[in-house]
Amino acid sequence: MIYLDYNATTPVNEEVLEVMLPFFTQFYGNAASRTHLPGWDAREGVDKARKQVANLIQVDPKDIVFTSGATESINLAIKGLYEIARKQGKNHIITVKTEHKAVLDTCAYLEKNHEAEITYLEVDTKGNIDLKTLENTIRKNTALVSIMYVNNETGLIHPVDKIAKICAISEVIFFSDATQAVGKMEVYPQESGIDMMAFSSHKIYGPKGIGALYIRKGISIQEQQNGGQHERKRRSGTLNVPAIAGFGKAAEIAQKNYATDTQQLKHQRNYLESQLLTALDHVIINGDTTNRMPHISNLLFKGIVAEDLMLALSTHIAVSSGSACNSASILPSHVLKAMHLSDEDALSSIRFSLGRPTTDDEINQTVKKVVEAVLRLKA
């Protein structure tokens, strides 16, 4: 099986697993236990990992909140900020139609149940927002702007530095879902001006079930689950020490591999695209090809139903038609629809996402299998 769905999840790195294992059996204490050695050992593991994760994005470890994953981080950031801002008369949130469902569904919840006013920005055919429109959309009661760093379906990189400047001038908090960016490129929220940022371990060869939220000093949020005063009173709950230790090691490894990963993945992705575009008629790259991550390729196969193509490939190649969180839906991708694709074209699109273990031979085999399957489906 050739795995090309690394945007959905990644395998746990062997070094990461080795770091995690002792915390299941040897250092099994509760990191909140302050009165004995097992608790101290667990706390030491958490502290080390917090420094590793913070170092990856060059922030103070005290500004990192560990969560169960990016979805919880997103909910904590948006809901936690909104609850406080609403008391100050600010109930307006700005986001984008192409955001991950974790953002869109959270905004919809606040809109329906907590009197939030949500503006969903449009995008062009490449997935880009208009910065002037963003600037003009900010109001006196705007509490938050939520725009992702990298789009999980197309790989588009949003201009977060420019967005942050617009927000800073208007004194509006800028939150970014950086799940598909952190660990894959240099992401420095303090340097960019991002106030809060969510990301996850299992996208960077760490374990599932652990994520983080960066919160800039001076920003207050309301915790969303109660039951203690963990994580500096921002997220109650017993810490998942083995996963946190693994997250830290994954962050450390990612930091060392930026350059080599980028070079390898960009070469492989470009080769995959050029070969498929040459061998097949009516194949189109969805999104902005000049400003995207090196490992993502979203391809439209005109006249082919993506579900049929994926089924034809399913015993050989693992790919997807978009976010794993929406894989149960037979509806066209909301991201591609927002980019003005027709239902037919959106349902004919497949996302290939490459990873560190991807080999040149796997790319060659993928080209061969995809071409064979498309020609067979068209026959």
Residue whose tokens read 């009173």 = 233
**Predicted local confidence at residue 324, as pLDDT:** 54
d(CA 84, CA 205): 35
114 near 136, Cβ under 8 Å? Answer: no
d(CA 73, CA 177): 9
d(CA 23, CA 236): 20
pLDDT per residue as tens digits for the range 91-105? 999 999 999 999 999
Q: In what order do the strands lie in the sheet with 142-146?
A: 64-67, 211-215, 196-200, 173-177, 142-146, 92-96, 117-121
Q: In what order do the strands lie in the sheet with 283-285?
A: 283-285, 296-301, 349-353
> What topology is assigned to 14-253 in CATH?
Aspartate Aminotransferase; domain 2 (3.40.640)
> What is the mean predicted confidence (pLDDT) over 255-277?
95
pLDDT per residue as tens digits for the range 17-66? 999 999 999 999 989 898 999 998 999 999 999 999 999 999 999 999 99
**Catalytic residue at 107?**
no
> What topology is assigned to 2-8+258-378 in CATH?
Aspartate Aminotransferase, domain 1 (3.90.1150)
Tell me if residue 180 falls in helix, strand or coil. coil
Residue whose tokens read 């990191």 = 31
Displacement of CA 126 from its chain's centroid (Å): 19
Among 325, 364, 369, 377, the one annotated catalytic: 325
Tokens of 38: 């097992």
32 burial type by CB count under 10 A (0-12 exposed, 13-18 middle, 19+ buried): middle
pLDDT per residue as tens digits for the range 301-318? 999 999 999 999 999 999
Domain ranges of the chain: 2-8+258-378, 14-253
The answer to whether residue 73 scores a pLDDT higher than 90 is: yes
- Run of H or E residues at 65: strand 64-67
